[in-house]
Structure 1
Amino acid sequence: MALSGHCMCGAVTWTYSGSVTRNLVCHCADCQRATSSPFTAFLGMRLEQINWSGDITHYESSPGTFRGFCPSCGTRLYFRSDKWPSEVHVHAATMTDPAEYRPDAQVLMRSRAKWLDRLQSIPAHDGFQQAPKRR
């Protein structure tokens, strides 16, 4: 499998050739805090098969757990932990075409945001339901 991706500003890019080790949505409280979102979608990749280009800033969110992000635009790029020393978990939203992402599991459901159950029942819009105020 050949995959590629980049941060929001394009300063960091990645390419991957190989099988995906994980393909999941994580609902843990750490991912919620790290991404300011109710869950995070990851692709597990073998460290030796991913190539990065550009500067990445690393944050040790807990002992032996690192989160990489672009220092220019702040895009979260990956999660890496000593628990899985041969893998890096790349954020699926950084894929060149994130619409192609298809998770096959959800994990840490005990931390899942309860309001996600309501999404199907609340109004949906193709854009913002109100235009921005002009000054």
Structure 2
Amino acid sequence: MGELVEKSGGCQCGRVRYTARVDPAAAYPCHCRMCQRATGGVYAAMVQVDPAHCTFHGEPNWYASSAIAERAFCPACGSPIGFRYIDRREFDLTLGTFDDLSGFRPQSQFGCEGAIPGWQDLTGIEGTRSEDYAPLQERWRAAGVAPPE
């Protein structure tokens, strides 16, 4: 694969933070139904990490999601943070929890039996940037806070 780079990340509320050395080329989407349900997404975007290369600042909770695996999450805000098989040292971090997503590029996919065809290639579908959506910006102004990055 590729070179390890240091990246930081954490949950939505900031209670669980981490620094990890990861290989951005090892990122992958998992389309299996368990990952879809665990993350609430059409797939879970993950990258594997060696526990020796990851330090948590605020420990996540681990939920036994099946007889063979468990998932890390923030006990305060519920953000899904990771996944691991109970018989392995290595675990996966969810890409959405990284502070900087640059460099991650999937080289493989997993759980393809659960892939939703209409959600794999979004090329050519019209999109709106959050900062260009006036109702959202007005909600932030009314709340008296700046929109998050």
**TM-score, length of structure 1 as denominator length:** 0.83
Report whether the alignment pairs 1:62 with 2:66.
Answer: yes
- Which one of the candidate residues 2, 10, 14 is aligned to 1:10? 14
Q: Write the deviation string for residues 33-57 of structure 1: whole angstroms up to 9, x where unpaired.
A: 0001001111101112211111312
CA distance in 2, matches of 1:78, 1:4: 14
Number of residue-to-residue matches in the alignment? 133
User: Which residue does 2:142 correspond to in 1?
Assistant: none
For the residue of structure 2 that corresponds to 1:51, the secondary structure is: strand
The farther-off stretch of 97-106 and 125-134 is 125-134
What is the percentage of aligned positions where both structures have the same residue?
28
Contact 1:80 1:88 in 2 (8 A): yes
Q: Moved runs in structure 1, 4+ residues, more than 6 A?
A: none
User: Which residue does 1:86 correspond to in 2?
Assistant: 89
**Cα gap change, 1:64 to 1:109, in 2 (>3 Å):** closer
Q: Write the deviation string for residues 75-102 of structure 1: whole angstroms up to 9, x where unpaired.
A: 111001135x121100011111124422
Structure 2 unmatched ranges of 5 or more: 140-149
**In the TM superposition, what are the counterparts of 1:102-113 in structure 2 within 5 Å?**
102-113=105-116
- Which one of the candidate residues 42, 47, 53 is aligned to 2:57? 53
**TM-score, length of structure 2 as denominator length:** 0.76
The farther-off stretch of 72-81 and 102-111 is 102-111
Shift in Å, 1:121: 4.7
**Cα gap change, 1:50 to 1:11, in 2 (>3 Å):** same
RMSD of aligned C-alpha atoms? Answer: 2.6
User: Which residue does 1:38 correspond to in 2?
Assistant: 42
Contact 2:24 2:104 in 1 (8 A): no
Greater strand share, structure number: 1
Structure 1 unmatched ranges of 5 or more: none
**Cα gap change, 1:18 to 1:105, in 2 (>3 Å):** closer
CA distance in 2, matches of 1:18, 1:32: 23
Contact 2:31 2:112 in 1 (8 A): yes
Shift in Å, 1:129: 6.3
